[in-house]
Amino acid sequence: MKILILENDTYRVESKDAPEVGRYYNLEDAVTGTAAQNKSFHALLNNFWLWMFKNNKFQFDDNGIIYNLSTPDQASFKDFFKYKYGQGFKHYQYVNKKFAMVKVKTMEEIPDYVIHDFNDGNKERVKGILKSWVDYTKKQRLDCIDMLLTIIYISECDDKKVNEIIDGMQREKQNET
């Protein structure tokens, strides 16, 4: 159901299914993304990783472009995917000479001595903090989901659960129009 909130506590229904009198509804901002996008994205990621794990198929070739999605578990896969194909890091943290944690927006703001130490093996000294899925805009979510669907297609994934999720997403999209 899609509605537009107007002044004076009124609304206009913009889809074929109208709200029922006496029933409660949870409203979501249609611009920033929906719980359905969140549920679909994470379910697709988890089930796709399970399919890759079961089939030991973490690498795919698409006309010479190699996709390597090797990760040890589903949580790592989610983080990797958000880093590589999503919005990446929202900021970085590093440990300075006084062993204090410092937050910066870009890698360029991290002092050379920290980067040198990091490159010499002290990997715990710098950490990228991924942008949370809840902070993605609707367009960013759709772009990330589209990329996931593209990679699933390229991989020739034939998992029943993955296909059910994709079918459900397509039905939901048809219901919106």
How far is 131 from 57, CA to CA, in rounded Å?
Answer: 27
Distance of CA 66 to the CA centre of its chain: 21
Q: What is the pLDDT of residue 51?
A: 97
- pTM of the predicted structure, to 2 decimals: 0.72
pLDDT at residue 33 in the model: 58
Nearest to 1 by CA among 39, 27, 31: 27
Q: How far apart are CA 48 and CA 13, in angstroms?
A: 36
Q: Which amino acid is at 152?
A: I
User: Which pair of structure tokens corresponds to residue 172?
Assistant: 């939901």
Contact status, residue 118 vs residue 13, Cβ threshold 8 Å: no
**pLDDT band at 28; cut points 50, 70, 90:** low
* Per-residue pLDDT reduced to its tens digit, 86-105: 999 999 999 998 989 999 99
